[in-house]
Amino acid sequence: MATVTATATARSLTLVSGLAALLVFSPCSLSLATSDRDADRVERLPGQPESPSVSQFSGYVTVDERHGRALFYWFFEAQALPEEKPLLLWLNGGPGCSSIGYGAASELGPLRVVSHGAALEFNQYAWNKEANLLFLESPVGVGFSYTNTSTDLDKLDDEFVAEDAYNFLVNWLERFPEYKDREFYIAGESYAGHYVPQLAELVYGRNKDKMAKTYINIKGFIVGNPITNNYYDSKGLAEYAWSHTVVSDEVYERIKKYCDFKNSNWSDDCSVAMNIIFNQYQEIDIYNIYAPKCLLNQTSASSVGRAFFANDQDQFRRTIRMFSGYDPCYSSYAEDYFNKKQVQRAFHANLSGLLPGKWHVCSDPILISYNFSVFSVLPIYSKLIKAGLRVWLYSGDADGRVPVIGSRYCVEALGLPIKTQWQPWYLNKQVAGRFVEYHDMSMVTIRGAGHLVPLNKPAEGLMLINTFLRGEQLPTRR
């Protein structure tokens, strides 16, 4: 994969040298931070509706000056009382999928791409009703984020990604110092089930370091349909496919006989049996098994919403997939929109014009080359729950890729004492899902949602994040 050379503007590529290291703001440092912040303000994007007004910023933050590595962000101030609302960071997974293209422009941001990439619409269920909302394209090589050192792309693993995301946060908070003391939460979905808790752990650990540049006031994290533990997630995928009539009893018996999901290297017999499931999902949408499948004539990686997931089987890894929701071809709209030169100029993105090829919702090279080295993040859950962080896991129950069954296994494996048993929660006098509360965390299901809960069930998604951020219980009465 080609990399970008360093010819973009100084604002896009580098932070002021040494700015992130300052612990006390001098008038000069405040002026520099304000200048960078003002340069990142987006007045209005092409196709953006005239009202309501949206306070937004976007641009690059350097995470490694020596390697010329910078991550791209899109930030929305809260719609009301931003000075009182917490800061929420959203990450998408893959590895290799863009939080700009999915989380921001398709799911929970205030501006969603519509009409085959021709325009934006205001999202009345945007999560910046409840928080100041920050989207990050991570890891490097995803979307507009780049490196000038090509060998960086050979080193990508969970630890590398967490370190870059942490450095981004430290430097971003120098640019937006008013959020330094704000309550901070992390959210994400799919393979961000790894990114989110690992970043939370890193922030928590660095906060203990008296020599750390910045104290980040982290209070918790929430993950949706998250990759969590290879054994339980794989076991859940197989059980879900069988229990939801995707495959026959015979196929499921073969999987039980030949598959030891505790071993990350599947046997040939197991791979053959599991590929029967994967082949069936070529006919329907694995991310929302009851939704229509996108039938656009896709021609290249630029047309895929391919990789919300990581899978060791090369055959499935190469399978082109689209996610579904109100429009199962929604991600192609984002690609059409963010590849427009006038959009990139207004967005402060790709100012050098030297990004390799087109902007993609998901980067196949990242997915293929990513080093999957972490089997389970459950030990991190245990550590951070014990430390007092608020932790929620939610699951759209129509997702076949990271099914609710596997997530239940993961949560139950933590061995936490139950505070309240499984029970329904309600929205508009209807059952919106179910939840169970433990003494230190909660698991929530969203009825009828697939892999992308904020897209499939936006009102329920907004209720979910509202309740989480307030530390309250979901409504238990009609």
Contacts of 42 (CB under 8 A, 6+ apart): 56, 57, 58, 346, 347, 348
The DSSP line for 311-369 is -S-HHHHT------SSSTTHHHHHHHHHT-HHHHHHHT-STTS-SSSS--SB-HHHHHH
The residue type found at 225 is: N
Catalytic residue chosen out of the listed positions 98, 190, 395, 442: 190
In the structure encoding, which two tokens stand for residue 398, read together? 């129509």
Are 226 and 245 in contact by the 8 Å Cβ rule? The answer is no
Count of Cβ atoms closer than 10 Å to residue 6 Cβ: 13
Kindly name the residue from 194, 348, 360, 451 that is annotated as catalytic.
451
H-run or E-run covering 76: strand 69-76
- Whole-angstrom distance, CA of residue 143 vs CA of residue 70: 11
Show the tokens assigned to 78: 């809260």
Strands 390-396 and 146-147: unpaired
Does residue 399 carry a catalytic annotation? yes
In this structure, the number of other CB atoms found within 10 A of the CB of residue 282 comes to 13
Catalytic-role residue among 40, 399, 440, 442 = 399
- Other CB atoms closer than 10 Å to residue 273's CB: what's the count? 23
User: Cα separation of 137 and 142, whole Å?
Assistant: 6
Q: Cα separation of 97 and 143, whole Å?
A: 8
**At what angle are helices 158-175 and 27-40 packed, to 10 degrees?**
110
Phi-psi region of 135 (alpha: psi -120 to 50; beta: other; left: phi over 0): beta
How many Cα atoms occupy the beta-carbon half-sphere of 252 within 13 Å? Answer: 15
Active site residues: 190, 399, 451
